[in-house]
Chain A
Amino acid sequence: DTEVTQTPKHLVMGMTNKKSLKCEQHMGHRAMYWYKQKAKKPPELMFVYSYEKLSINESVPSRFSPECPNSSLLNLHLHALQPEDSALYLCASSPRQGLQETQYFGPGTRLLVL
């Protein structure tokens, strides 16, 4: 399996809802990433997990809560989001964090907050 998968593909939620995004890879990668991408902009790093431990949090608001239950799975828990949080949320993985490793992206979850 050489792909990063993400579910759901689309998500619409109200500002009081709680939802979760899921990302999975079976390439044996030990680094996993969450990015947020707005239209016509580059991906913006949110979190990095290395060996299931959070290594980077780019000052993301606490309404976004990441979780890495095991080396293959990465979740992003969403609560009390704002309309400006509407974006494409991309997950990526790489063999390791650092060491000039290539990042492979999932197809993304398109989130709309009403």
Chain B
Amino acid sequence: GENVEQHPSTLSVQEGDSAVIKCTYSDSASNYFPWYKQELGKRPQLIIDIRSNVGEKKDQRIAVTLNKTAKHFSLHITETQPEDSAVYFCAASTGVWDSNYQLIWGAGTKLIIKP
């Protein structure tokens, strides 16, 4: 079945610098890759997603890149701010039929923005 690995587990960056989180997946049929941000005590919130027919997507300071050949995708956050501090989860879709379609999640990255 699908397996998603996420690195690093903890990332500490200076405010204003960029942060990059990487995920690899095993199922070549995966076609949807969301990123969720979860602040302490709160719900996971979708921050950006990418589908397999595009290689890159950007939304203001956040971008995601996808390399289907290598089976990896990355989250890029530029000009980091204190409010970016949170746990970030990547996920990849799996399932041949709609009835067994689900997300497989990475282990998470704790992002710390140092003032």
Given A42-B107, A43-B105, A98-B95, is A55 in contact with B44 using a C-beta cutoff of 8 Å?
A: no
B113 CB, min distance to chain A CBs, angstroms: 19
- Residues of chain B within 8 A (CB-CB) of A48 are 102
Given A50-B98, A90-B43, A105-B45, is A100 in contact with B51 using a C-beta cutoff of 8 Å?
A: yes
What's the tally of chain A residues with a CB closer than 8 Å to chain B? 23
Give Cα A50 to B101, complex, Å: 11
Given A100-B31, A102-B34, is A43 in contact with B97 using a C-beta cutoff of 8 Å?
A: no
- Residues of chain A within 8 A (CB-CB) of B36 are 105
Query: Using a CB–CB distance below 8 Å, which chain A residues touch chain B?
Result: 40-43, 45, 48, 50, 55-56, 90, 96-108
What are the 8 closest A-B residue pairs judged by CB atoms, nearest first?
A98-B98, A98-B101, A42-B105, A100-B32, A105-B43, A55-B99, A107-B43, A105-B44
Q: List 15 A-B contacts (CB under 8 A).
A: A40-B108, A41-B107, A42-B105, A42-B107, A43-B89, A45-B102, A48-B102, A50-B98, A90-B43, A96-B98, A97-B98, A97-B99, A100-B51, A102-B49, A103-B103
